Amino acid sequence: MQFIIYLSQYIIPFMIFYIVGYGLMMKVSVYDSFVAGAKDGIRTVVKIVPALIGLMTAAGVLRASGFLDFLASLLSQAVWQIKDIFPPALIPLSIIRMFSSSAATGLLLDLYKEYGTDSRVGLISSLMMSSTETIFYTISVYFMTVEIKKTRYTLAGALLATMAGLAASVALAGLIGG
């Protein structure tokens, strides 16, 4: 364990020195390449800011309007048969996670306060946060950046992957929690 801590402290400085050293050995203008990359990064940020603002606004509206709670109550009634497998308290988190990671983190902290971090709900929600993705954020930002209009099966595949992540979270929590 001590080796991993030691390695993690020095890996980023090592990578920086390696990249700069390799660039100098190959006679590349490292600073000019860095500046050109930074300019491209700024252009990308400018292109995706409208999508980011729209998604943050949508996530805030969903949460503040009560629609998220309404949708969660509808889904809770639909999954009442599996409440012993998938706790209904996790439904709002699984919905908002698809839109915003920061809003999902807020819900996660609320779950920790209510149920505790070591509870079954806390364990599943922690695993869920690390095994699912912010689908709509990712699709809109990445596809807008490269100007893709037709996403084809991306949304269906992402939703399927999220369902697999949710199932894996429940399964892993069962293995970890005993």
| Residue 25, domain member (yes or no) | no
Q: What is the pLDDT of residue 82?
A: 65
**What is the C-alpha radius of gyration for the chain, rounded to an integer number of angstroms?**
21
159's tokens: 């939703």
| Residue 9, domain member (yes or no) | no
Q: What is the pLDDT of residue 137?
A: 79
Number of domains the chain contains: 1
| Residue 4, domain member (yes or no) | no
| Residue 147, domain member (yes or no) | yes
| Residue 79, domain member (yes or no) | yes
Which stretches in the chain have pLDDT values below 50?
A: none
Please state at what angle helix 154-177 crosses helix 120-131, rounded to 10 degrees.
140
In sign, the C-alpha dihedral spanning 161, 165, 75, 64 is negative
Domain holding 71, by residue range, is 47-177
| Residue 6, domain member (yes or no) | no
Give pLDDT tens digits for 124-173: 999 999 999 888 878 877 887 777 888 889 899 999 999 999 999 999 98
Q: What is the pLDDT of residue 83?
A: 64
